[in-house]
Amino acid sequence: MRYLGMNRQTGEPLTDIDHLRQSVSDILLTPIGSRLARRQYGSLLSALIDAPQNPALRLQLMAACYTAIQQWEPRISLTAIAVVPGEAGQMQIDIRGHYTPDRDPVAFSVSVR
């Protein structure tokens, strides 16, 4: 165990990969400019979510995810980001990479609304 955090919903302890998943989700779902002490923290997903879903938007979303994760989460080395369209105003971001402390593969999804 390298990292210890707290589940934001239950208060239970989180370790390693579970803490990483929660952290990436928090980064992606936090709009840039919404945190008082860290205005640059977060991603541009909230600004892009209501745009018409097309290939150009998919690339913008992937770039926004990559940029935010690379800037704010050093514990993951990304290998793939995929955008899975859903109903209007919804999508799923599938993330794959390696947990950098031990190079274990990780894969998880973040639902965006």
Q: What residues make up the domain containing 62?
A: 4-112
pTM of the model: 0.89
State how far the Cα of 108 lies from the Cα of 67, in Å rounded to an integer.
Answer: 17
Residue 89: C-alpha distances to residues 27, 85, 100 (Å):
19, 9, 33
Kindly report the CATH number assigned to the domain that includes residue 72. 3.10.450.40
How many domains does one find in the chain?
1
Express each pLDDT in 64-90 by its tens digit: 999 999 999 999 999 999 999 877 778
> Residues 31-52: pLDDT tens digits?
999 999 999 999 999 999 888 8
